[in-house]
Structure 1
Amino acid sequence: MVSSAASTASGTHTDGGLDDESGEAQLQLQRKISQAVDEGHDADIPSSQGFVLDEQEELRRQRSKAERRRNSFASKKSRADRDVEKAQAPGETASSSNDGEDSDSDPNIVWWTGPDDVENPYNWPTWRKVVNCGLISAMTFVSPLASSIFAPGVPQVVAEFHSTSLEIAAFVVSVYVLGFAAGPMLFAPLSEIYGRVILYHIGNLGFIAFQVGCALSPTLNALIIFRFFAGVFGSVAITNGGGTIADMITQEKRGAAMAVFSIGPLLGPIVGPVAGGFLSDAEGWRWSFWLLAIIGGFLAILMLFSVKESYAPVILQKKTIKLRKETGNELLRSKLDAGLSPRDYFKRGIIRPFKMLFLSPVIAITSLYMAVTYGYLYLMFTTMTEVFQGYYGFSTSTVGLAFIGLGVGSLIGIFLFSATSDRYIRKKAAEADAIAQATGEPKAGMKPEYRLPLLPVGALLIPAGLFIYGWTAEYRVHWIVPIIGTAIVGIGNIIVFMVVQLYLVDAFTIYAASAIACNTIVRSLAGAVLPLAGLPMYDKLGIGWGNSTLGFIAVALFPVSLGIIKYGERLRNRFVIKNL
């Protein structure tokens, strides 16, 4: 059930001045955006277009409206001669909603005052948008940085706490990623209720507090617990950052901002070990956490005074509350008020991803496949320090440089994907439309499966890189060769990651964020658990056969990439996701 707010976009209308073809295209685009608005907490869509509810949620909304109406009539403030027109602020424009009762003439609907309303985040001055995007992007760099900056200092930690457990040595690094899996389950639905800014502040405060806790940890168990909660609170910026950018920047200008936003999560885990290696060697492992607390604190202060709320439903809800107090009209309702209780928001944000995981074979298969590749990445993060110190004699300060191979490989993978994916899907869509036009069939447009051809390439590069990394390190070949092997793994990993993410977005537009949430939860669990087997495996099998074991598993999973290409569309059409 789609709000008729789809007919407006930041105060502009679709009717008039458009030819039939462009008008239809614009209507389709707005309809798609409107359908996706309920995923606005972390999807790349605006939060100011409307909302979509299933039948049960629409029933709850109608009950909420009826209850508000009864309360208004029963209120002592109600007066028989109340001028309803006073409920509408000067210049206030109205709109319609799902049920057909709300129309352009309804004075009880609170909306933007016009297309140039300065409260609308789309109309903010450029400097404010840059400040908001810049600070949030900076936090999305610091938070992933914390996942790996600690890795070179792990030998110091286990020595200080007299631990001999290889599993604990790995888990103290990867447990942070477990927090990344848990955090979005809480903060994504909360952002739909309270907005984005308050969650950024809470996340920053918790991130700083638990980094200080890590720096002062008296035991290894305490360090693990603090690391987990640091990951939970550190996930806020990544969870809601994309939505904040979509709140402020129109779709045609959003690419550059999203590119900047994506750099942090990509480079953070790579820069972390390089900086952490030198810092741990010079000042000890605890100073890695003090540095994170200092940087996080500085950004938190800047965000406290500079970041402004961009989530349109919350902005309009505050405006509605203010107008209710000024006018005494309790029937006023924000145009973007979905009428759902906090319990409904949590149910929608937490339960839906798991329902999709079990109801959609495409989501289940891609999530499990991503879990393996993501687990391999963090397995390397947790073991490369031991490998390059033990096999090549790297010091604590220089061992972090060994991680540069993964970073360079990731950048190459981003370049390859960006240079080929969009061009390929446009080409395939044009070919399909030409065939459809020749045969008189409807145009198919851009199928999500057009994103998939690079998937087998990434699936092959991962085992190839593992074999090179493992056996060249086993035979002490010059250190640059195993680092090249890790770079190949990085290329394959980022290609798989980007292909799967964009495929899910294209395939599940209405529930895109929930589909990605499924993927994030499953892969983060693997990223936290799989590394526990890394060091024990290398200890028993050696670095050569250990990485070969991982490579053989990756080779065995290679047919999955081909199967998704061949059967993905069939599975999507047979197991349609709706009314979740």
Structure 2
Amino acid sequence: MAEPLHQLPSRSQVEPSTVQDSRRTSLPTSASSVPDPQRNSLVLETDATNDAEKFAFNNDVEKNASPVSTLGEEEVRMGDIAEATDPNIVWWDGEADPENPMNWPTYKRWGTVAVVSAITFLTPLASSSFAPGIPKIMEEFGSTDNMLEGFMLSVYVLGFAFGPLIIAPLSEMFGRLPLYHSCNCLFIIFSIAAAVSTNLTMFIIFRFFMGCFGGGPIVLGGGTIADLISREQRGTAMAVWMMGPTIGPCIGPVIGGFLTEARGWRWNFWLVAILAGAFFIASIILMRETSASIILERKAKRLRASTGNPKLRSKLDSGLSPRDLFMFSIVRPTKMLTRSTICFCMSLYIAITYAYLYILFTTFTAVFTNQYNWRGGVVGLSFLGLGVGSFLGQMVFTYYGNKTAAKHHRLGDFKPEHRLYVMAAGGFFLPIGLFWYGWSVQAQTHYMVPIIGTGFVGLGLLMTFMAATTYLVDVFTIHAASAMAASTVLRSLMAALIPLSSQKMYAALDYGWGNSLLGFVSLLLVPIPFLFIKYGERIRARSTVKL
């Protein structure tokens, strides 16, 4: 028999959001024990008309990350006492339970973050590393279609949009670790397949599947960080992890330009496969399951076997069958995107800025070849401005984001909206960079002038992208993987489809007005973080999103 009084955590055991999130997922034992819906707890509803879905679990996700300090001390204490009335609930064994990922040794927690960050860095890098070699691929496969030329690059990102729809719900069912391993393995297989492609159709199909499985770490990484790292240190962890989706695509063409010139375009994919193989081996050796729901379910299974009590269940057990859990999980990202104001607005901001990144990727080679007569591997250096700007943006976010979070933690009034101060400032750099880059290219100024302009684009992109992503993780916490899936799907669709028309846009408007159009759109997005800084907490408090 489990010992629930010893398994219930004290308020200091885990970070406040984890305590409250875990309380929300506890299953009430009777009608009288159902908490007030305003406290966001799960509500048990009997549906007499549908035996296949006996229970519907409603969770107000936008309030998941509200600090416990916003609740009364007596309310928190009474919530813990109510949970203790069910002797069959399985939870952590005290404050220092070594099974709790939050209690793992520092080297183990940050080692896991490092491995996940390395894998996440490689997969977006693979999206653009062969960009300087696209003309050679088109020549080898005998194609002159400009749209197809852009689609070869963006089809990888299109895979990012479809993979997460399956990866996120599967991770809810089986945990994060099996999904990391299977996605890494399949990514290696399709990277090799792309390297040995014999025609353009094969190449595009294999690139698509590379993107589908390469998106796994991007979807799962935010959840892994939420599993392991406390709010005080989460900004640093997110900064390291987000280097992949933001800086990786900028560095890829620099490497790919010289590699294509030296060994041919196929070696871009051989290099990716080799590095992915090394990271795959490292992940098998070093990574362990971090999902609290999976760890607690395994613990409950062991206790059921050892005590003979079949009623023991994890505190995070939804009570759903695997099929129903999959169906609920697979629609969760779509619900978040379409019904959550916070998720939609932040994902839209991220998607537009990410689409701009790939517009530049698909046109840099043509711009610096035609306007500045760059040739060979040197063309890859045109991406350096974005890379340097992105790195500086990462440093700014890490320093000021952590400083702001630490300040409010000391004051005891931290809320997710404090992540958005950096985003509010970064929003101005993106239009500045686009105007600068577009008009300097059109005027054919010295090549360093537009490259500096792209540096401002990278700076603004990182400051907005990372702050918005960290904000989503802080807000949704236990559903961070689904929030990341929702954001990834929208940004990947826009990054895959919008750049296909970039050549026509520049042909009609030229580089000056073409990039100015993008800059004006980004200016319209600038108020979003300011609005959420002021009204975000109120929006979360009034949210009616049910999952």
Which of 414, 417, 429 does residue 394 from structure 2 map onto?
Answer: 414
Are residues 282 and 248 of structure 1, via their aligned partners in 2, closer, same or farther at CA, if it must alter by over 3 Å?
A: same
2:69 corresponds in structure 1 to none
What CA distance in whole angstroms lies between the structure 2 residues aligned with 1:500 and 1:460?
Answer: 15
Which of 241, 263, 270 does residue 290 from structure 1 map onto?
Answer: 270
1:174 corresponds in structure 2 to 154
Residues 362-382 of structure 1 deviation map (CA, whole Å, 9 limit, x = unaligned): 443443333222211111111
Q: Does residue 1:523 correspond to 2:511, yes or no?
A: no
Which of 44, 52, 75 does residue 55 from structure 1 map onto?
Answer: 44
What CA distance in whole angstroms lies between the structure 2 residues aligned with 1:287 and 1:27?
Answer: 46
The Cα shift of 1:238 comes to 2.1
Map of 1:11-22 to 2, 5 A cutoff? 12-14=9-11
Which of the two has higher C-alpha Rg? Answer: 1
Which of 518, 539, 543 does residue 572 from structure 1 map onto?
Answer: 539
1:401 corresponds in structure 2 to 381
The Cα shift of 1:57 comes to 9.4
Moved more, 489-498 or 315-324: 315-324
1:373 corresponds in structure 2 to 353
For the residue of structure 2 that corresponds to 1:529, the secondary structure is helix
Residues 459 and 561, structure 1, Cα contact 8 Å, conserved in 2: no
Residues 337 and 486, structure 2, Cα contact 8 Å, conserved in 1: yes
What CA distance in whole angstroms lies between the structure 1 residues aligned with 2:534 and 2:476?
Answer: 16
Residues 462 and 488, structure 1, Cα contact 8 Å, conserved in 2: yes
Moved more, 500-509 or 215-224: 500-509
The Cα shift of 1:572 comes to 1.8
TM-score by length of 2: 0.80
Which of 201, 210, 221 does residue 221 from structure 1 map onto?
Answer: 201
Residues 263-300 of structure 1 deviation map (CA, whole Å, 9 limit, x = unaligned): 33333112211111111111111111111111111221
Are residues 214 and 61 of structure 1, via their aligned partners in 2, closer, same or farther at CA, if it must alter by over 3 Å?
A: same
Residue type of the alignment partner of 1:352: R
Residue type of the alignment partner of 1:315: I
2:116 corresponds in structure 1 to 136
Are residues 158 and 559 of structure 1, via their aligned partners in 2, closer, same or farther at CA, if it must alter by over 3 Å?
A: same
Q: Does residue 1:473 correspond to 2:441, yes or no?
A: yes
Q: Does residue 1:273 correspond to 2:240, yes or no?
A: no
The Cα shift of 1:163 comes to 1.5
* Unpaired runs of at least 5, structure 1: 15-22, 39-50, 65-95, 434-442
Residues 109 and 228, structure 2, Cα contact 8 Å, conserved in 1: yes
Residues 395-420 of structure 1 deviation map (CA, whole Å, 9 limit, x = unaligned): 23111111111111112223334444
2:22 corresponds in structure 1 to 34
The Cα shift of 1:388 comes to 1.1
Map of 1:58-73 to 2, 5 A cutoff? none
Q: Does residue 1:262 correspond to 2:242, yes or no?
A: yes
What CA distance in whole angstroms lies between the structure 2 residues aligned with 1:272 and 1:549?
Answer: 27
Residues 348 and 490, structure 2, Cα contact 8 Å, conserved in 1: yes
Residues 519-563 of structure 1 deviation map (CA, whole Å, 9 limit, x = unaligned): 3322221111111111232344433333233234434x2565488
What CA distance in whole angstroms lies between the structure 2 residues aligned with 1:260 and 1:573?
Answer: 28
Are residues 229 and 452 of structure 1, via their aligned partners in 2, closer, same or farther at CA, if it must alter by over 3 Å?
A: same
Residue type of the alignment partner of 1:150: F
Relative contact order (C-alpha < 8 Å, sep 6+): which is higher?
A: 2
Are residues 510 and 465 of structure 1, via their aligned partners in 2, closer, same or farther at CA, if it must alter by over 3 Å?
A: same
2:453 corresponds in structure 1 to 485
2:318 corresponds in structure 1 to 338
Map of 1:437-456 to 2, 5 A cutoff? 445-446=413-414, 451-452=419-420, 455=423
Which of 387, 398, 405 does residue 367 from structure 2 map onto?
Answer: 387
Residue type of the alignment partner of 1:404: L
For the residue of structure 2 that corresponds to 1:397, the secondary structure is helix
Residue type of the alignment partner of 1:177: V
TM-score by length of 1: 0.76
2:65 corresponds in structure 1 to none
Q: Does residue 1:545 correspond to 2:513, yes or no?
A: yes
2:183 corresponds in structure 1 to 203
The Cα shift of 1:518 comes to 3.1
Map of 1:104-123 to 2, 5 A cutoff? 106=87, 108-112=88-92, 115-123=95-103
What CA distance in whole angstroms lies between the structure 2 residues aligned with 1:244 and 1:354?
Answer: 21
Residues 111 and 334, structure 1, Cα contact 8 Å, conserved in 2: yes
Query: How many residue pairs align between the two structures?
Result: 509
Are residues 58 and 392 of structure 1, via their aligned partners in 2, closer, same or farther at CA, if it must alter by over 3 Å?
A: farther
For the residue of structure 2 that corresponds to 1:13, the secondary structure is coil
Q: Does residue 1:236 correspond to 2:203, yes or no?
A: no
2:29 corresponds in structure 1 to none
Moved more, 257-266 or 181-190: 257-266
Are residues 249 and 37 of structure 1, via their aligned partners in 2, closer, same or farther at CA, if it must alter by over 3 Å?
A: farther
Residues 410 and 491, structure 1, Cα contact 8 Å, conserved in 2: yes
Residue type of the alignment partner of 2:432: A
1:500 corresponds in structure 2 to 468
* Unpaired runs of at least 5, structure 2: 27-39, 56-76
Are residues 292 and 422 of structure 1, via their aligned partners in 2, closer, same or farther at CA, if it must alter by over 3 Å?
A: closer
Residue type of the alignment partner of 1:460: F
For the residue of structure 2 that corresponds to 1:163, the secondary structure is coil
For the residue of structure 2 that corresponds to 1:55, the secondary structure is strand
Are residues 98 and 192 of structure 1, via their aligned partners in 2, closer, same or farther at CA, if it must alter by over 3 Å?
A: farther
Are residues 504 and 193 of structure 1, via their aligned partners in 2, closer, same or farther at CA, if it must alter by over 3 Å?
A: closer
Residues 18-72 of structure 1 deviation map (CA, whole Å, 9 limit, x = unaligned): xxxxx8x99965543436779xxxxxxxxxxxx96343499999979xxxxxxxx
What CA distance in whole angstroms lies between the structure 2 residues aligned with 1:352 and 1:327?
Answer: 35
Are residues 117 and 383 of structure 1, via their aligned partners in 2, closer, same or farther at CA, if it must alter by over 3 Å?
A: same
Are residues 111 and 33 of structure 1, via their aligned partners in 2, closer, same or farther at CA, if it must alter by over 3 Å?
A: closer
Residue type of the alignment partner of 1:357: L
Residues 456 and 558, structure 1, Cα contact 8 Å, conserved in 2: no
Residue type of the alignment partner of 2:118: A
